[in-house]
Homo-oligomer: A and B are copies of this chain.
Amino acid sequence: MPQLRQPRPLNAAAGSAGETPSVDVIDSSYLESLLGYNARRATLTVIEVFLETMAPYQLRPVDFSVLSLIAHNPGITSRQLCTTLGILPPNLVGMVNTLEKRELISRQPHPRDGRATGLHLTQSGEKLMRDAEATAAELEAGVAARLSPSELRTLIRLLKKIYQPA
């Protein structure tokens, strides 16, 4: 583990001819100046907290996203879920099957397209998502504890500008 507070020895990062330099304190200031690096590190932190906090519900971020979209869009199809979340259809099949086996969602025939299936929350699915969305709100507040409400709004607004450049 890189030491953070000890003085650098004389031979560290010497760089003079013939010497083999070594470093005790890592300089990551360049990487930390890059948007991509910071976005990725922040995302990994939020996901880590999400996995811990949502463990009682046995929901990964993607399961939560799928269930939440079904909750707010009853009758949504698999194809629509894939397009909205950027998931490839073959990779959604297993998730939907698992959620159906857990009796959190049900499949119903689509009213106007015989190829498609409408997805709906069951009663226990609705109960779970009410609790899970409440927990998610607390989770967000905890992760962003050092941000003011105004800063959190700003952060989300600027992130949207990155992935919704239209």
Contacts and interface: CB of A to CB of B under 8 A. Distances in A.
Nearest to A41: B163
A1 interface: yes
A30 B69 CA distance: 8
A33 B137 CA distance: 10
A28 B162 contact: no
How many copies, total?
2
Contacts of A155: 35, 155, 158-159, 162
A13 interface: yes
A118 B20 contact: yes
Interface residues of A, number: 75
A95 interface: no
Looking at chain A's contact residues, is the secondary structure mostly helix, strand, loop, or mixed? helix
A34 B140 contact: yes
Given A20-B118, A31-B69, A42 B111 contact: no
Given A22-B118, A83-B2, A111-B20, A38 B159 contact: yes
Interface string A103-131: 00000111110000010000000000000
Name the 4 nearest CB pairs between A and B, nearest first. A38-B159, A21-B75, A42-B162, A36-B46
28 contacts: A1-B83, A11-B111, A13-B73, A15-B74, A20-B109, A20-B111, A23-B73, A23-B75, A23-B76, A26-B80, A29-B72, A30-B133, A34-B140, A35-B46, A35-B144, A35-B159, A36-B50, A39-B42, A39-B43, A40-B47, A41-B86, A41-B163, A43-B43, A44-B86, A45-B163, A146-B161, A154-B158, A155-B162
